[in-house]
Chains A and B, each alone.
Chain A
Amino acid sequence: MLADILAHPKIMKQYFILQFKMLNRQLTEWGIEPVIGYVVGLFAFIGISIKLFEKTQFAEYIYIVLALSLVIKLNEINRNDFLKLCYSKTEYIKIRIVENLIVSIVFITFLLFQEKYLSSILLFISVCLFSLLDFKNKSSFTIPTPFYKYPFEFIVGFRSNYLIYFFAYFLTFMSISVNNFNLGIFSLILTLLSCLNHYTNSENEFYVWVFSMTPKEFIRYKLKNIIQYSTILCLPILITLALFFYTKIDIIVVFQFLGYLFIFTTMLAKYSVFPEKLNIRFGIVFALTFWFPPLLLFIIPYLYIQSTKKLKEIL
């Protein structure tokens, strides 16, 4: 296979140079110097991996799932159709195999380093096989949601991440089974973080422009959606934890309230730079607020003023 790939080095080289440029541009857009991004990324990956393998016996399985989910993300229909149009069948397959290997190589290498030979071989074979598969979703099935009245963040977010929500509910169930309150709180945090994630990407400008509202009304409208819909998603966890750990209801309420504040902050941060995307500076500030939540008292008013200014230009 490698000999085959090397037989057409020019086409492959051009394609991957272009991909490399695109990745560098994306990092720059996030406010990260590409070289620093790669070095920090690699060290962070090694650090997190070492911790993961120390902490849990399921690390190798988590690793396989993570690597395969990245590979599946690359298997996007329109992107693959475009590649098929541009390249011959053999070139297409070679490109797909090489890019799947590039994405998963760090996982395979670390599994080898951890002497998990069977898992690394299995991952390698799966990654190569995935290059030959097309995940064309021809089904017209629409995942139902209770959020139809006020689209779009929770509708799109829930449909994209519904497995995370079901996993969180499963963890809540487990927390009751093993009588572990911390696990229950973790499931609540996971749900709230997933809700927060719905507000990290800037939407197309049209979807802000179209509102006949003042910036303040627009922010109030979004805040109402956040409270209403994140409560719906957290409700099964909140009720279960409140019933089985009723002596710790104050802690549950504090976490839920902090969750609202963090989601609200993310929404404000998004509109404070709109239509630009959130960059690494926000990530650093956000990490600081996680470490010391009272910082939100200063950050929220600042972001609120910035968002109203930005929104005023569009609304």
Chain B
Amino acid sequence: MISIENLSKSYGSKLVLENINLNFEKGKVYGIVGENGAGKTTLFKCIAGLEKYNGAIHCEYGKPKDFLGYLQTEPFFFSKITGNEYIQLLCNARNVIYPDIKEKNIFDLPLNEYAVKYSTGMRKKLAFTAILLQENKLFILDEPFNGVDIHSNIIITEIIHKLKGMGKSIIISSHIFSTLNDTCDEIFLLKNGKIIKTVLKEEFRNLESEMKAFTIGNKIEKLNLK
């Protein structure tokens, strides 16, 4: 569905992404893991077309942004817009008819209240609901499980499975390894702007312990906690 060729991105002299080559197929779920600042969000923004980059992104449907549901880490909401109106706005943007929201409000959000009054988790669920109703073909979910309660996490995981079954492609970043383990077919490890490893489903078991050893090392001892 989408292939990324030699994608690089720099801010001034700082190289944030270096020669990224990735392929995302239909009906598959991909995970991207990496430390804070590794370049995950920048990569997502490049795919979405929100950032300029060097290299190429090929997509069989045309511009990725026109069929991409992008769930940002911290979705932005206007100060005086209700949940309902936010969904209406996102549906209008994709020329999708606003559905019967009572049935589709699976997270039981108070859609007639201002979205800025929602908790962090509720905001994420509202933004997620809206991109689902846009009928997108590709999804980028940047930290979809952060701040969301356990029940909703289960629902989100099931939705991801359903989307996969419908032949859509999903790219997820998460710091909670178990959620990636449950949903992904392939995981890419991003470090200092480079994909340093690609891990297939059958190797996931080793990945978590490898990541722990790799990330923690002897850093905690160095803290010399007292």
B114 close to A (CB within 8 Å):
yes
B162 close to A (CB within 8 Å):
no
Q: Is the CB of A160 within 8 A of B85?
A: no
Closest B residue by C-beta to A206 = B76
What is the size, in residues, of chain B's interface with A at 8 Å between Cβ atoms?
Answer: 31
**Which residue from B48, B95, B117 sits with its C-beta under 8 Å from A209?**
B48
Q: Is the CB of B76 within 8 A of A142?
A: no
B78 close to A (CB within 8 Å):
yes
Q: Is the CB of B93 within 8 A of A212?
A: yes
Considering only residues 263-315 of chain A, those with a C-beta below 8 Å from chain B are 313-315
Closest B residue by C-beta to A315 = B65
Q: Is the CB of A212 within 8 A of B85?
A: no
Knowing A150-B92, A212-B95 are in contact, say whether A204-B81 is a contact too (CB < 8 A): no
**Which residue from B52, B70, B82 sits with its C-beta under 8 Å from A142?**
B82
Across the interface, which residues of A come within 8 angstroms of B95, CB to CB? 212
Q: Is the CB of B110 within 8 A of A151?
A: no
Across the interface, which residues of A come within 8 angstroms of B92, CB to CB? 149-151
Q: Is the CB of B94 within 8 A of A142?
A: no
Closest A residue by C-beta to B95 = A212
Knowing A148-B84, A210-B90 are in contact, say whether A142-B112 is a contact too (CB < 8 A): yes
B199 close to A (CB within 8 Å):
no
Q: Is the CB of B78 within 8 A of A152?
A: yes
**Which residue from B48, B86, B113, B114 sits with its C-beta under 8 Å from A151?**
B86
Knowing A140-B117, A205-B50, A209-B48 are in contact, say whether A155-B93 is a contact too (CB < 8 A): no
Across the interface, which residues of B come within 8 angstroms of A143, CB to CB? 80
Closest A residue by C-beta to B69 = A210
Contact flags (1/0) for B89-121 with A, using CB distance below 8 Å? 110111100000000000000101110010000
Minimum C-beta distance from B89 to chain A (A):
4
Question: What separation, in Å, do the CA atoms of A152 and B116 have in the docked complex?
Answer: 14
Knowing A149-B88, A152-B85, A152-B89 are in contact, say whether A209-B65 is a contact too (CB < 8 A): yes
Q: Is the CB of A156 within 8 A of B117?
A: no
**Which residue from A140, A148, A211, A315 sits with its C-beta under 8 Å from B110?**
A140
B224 close to A (CB within 8 Å):
no
Across the interface, which residues of B come within 8 angstroms of A207, CB to CB? 76, 89
Contact flags (1/0) for A174-209 with B, using CB distance below 8 Å? 000000000000000000000000000001111101
Minimum C-beta distance from A91 to chain B (A):
28
Knowing A140-B117, A142-B114, A156-B79 are in contact, say whether A209-B85 is a contact too (CB < 8 A): no
**Which residue from A156, A209, A213 sits with its C-beta under 8 Å from B49?**
A209
Closest A residue by C-beta to B92 = A150
Minimum C-beta distance from B159 to chain A (A):
20
Contact flags (1/0) for A144-164 with B, using CB distance below 8 Å? 000011111001100110000
Question: What separation, in Å, do the CA atoms of A148 and B86 have in the docked complex?
Answer: 10
Across the interface, which residues of A come within 8 angstroms of B6, CB to CB? none
Question: What separation, in Å, do the CA atoms of A156 and B49 have in the docked complex?
Answer: 27
Minimum C-beta distance from B57 to chain A (A):
15
Across the interface, which residues of A come within 8 angstroms of B67, CB to CB? 212
B182 close to A (CB within 8 Å):
no
Question: What separation, in Å, do the CA atoms of A206 and B90 have in the docked complex?
Answer: 10
Across the interface, which residues of B come within 8 angstroms of A155, CB to CB? 78, 80-81, 85
Q: Is the CB of B88 within 8 A of A160?
A: no
Closest A residue by C-beta to B80 = A159
Considering only residues 1-54 of chain B, those with a C-beta below 8 Å from chain A are 48-50, 52
Across the interface, which residues of B come within 8 angstroms of A205, CB to CB? 50
Across the interface, which residues of B come within 8 angstroms of A212, CB to CB? 65-67, 93-95
Q: Is the CB of B89 within 8 A of A151?
A: yes
**Which residue from B49, B76, B93, B113 sits with its C-beta under 8 Å from A140?**
B113
Question: What separation, in Å, do the CA atoms of A143 and B84 have in the docked complex?
Answer: 13
Minimum C-beta distance from B61 to chain A (A):
11
Across the interface, which residues of B come within 8 angstroms of A151, CB to CB? 81, 85-86, 88-89, 92
Across the interface, which residues of A come within 8 angstroms of B86, CB to CB? 151
Question: What separation, in Å, do the CA atoms of A155 and B65 have in the docked complex?
Answer: 26
Minimum C-beta distance from A200 to chain B (A):
14
Question: What separation, in Å, do the CA atoms of A127 and B37 have in the docked complex?
Answer: 44
Across the interface, which residues of A come within 8 angstroms of B50, CB to CB? 205-206, 209, 314
Minimum C-beta distance from B119 to chain A (A):
13
Closest B residue by C-beta to A148 = B85
Question: What separation, in Å, do the CA atoms of A210 and B112 have in the docked complex?
Answer: 22
Across the interface, which residues of B come within 8 angstroms of A152, CB to CB? 78, 81, 85, 89
Q: List 9 A-B contacts (CB under 8 A).
A: A140-B110, A148-B84, A149-B88, A155-B85, A159-B80, A203-B78, A206-B70, A209-B49, A211-B94
Name B's A-contacting residues (CB within 8 A).
48-50, 52, 65-67, 70, 72, 75-76, 78-82, 84-86, 88-90, 92-95, 110, 112-114, 117
4 pairs of A and B residues whose beta carbons are closest in the complex: A159-B80, A151-B89, A212-B66, A204-B76
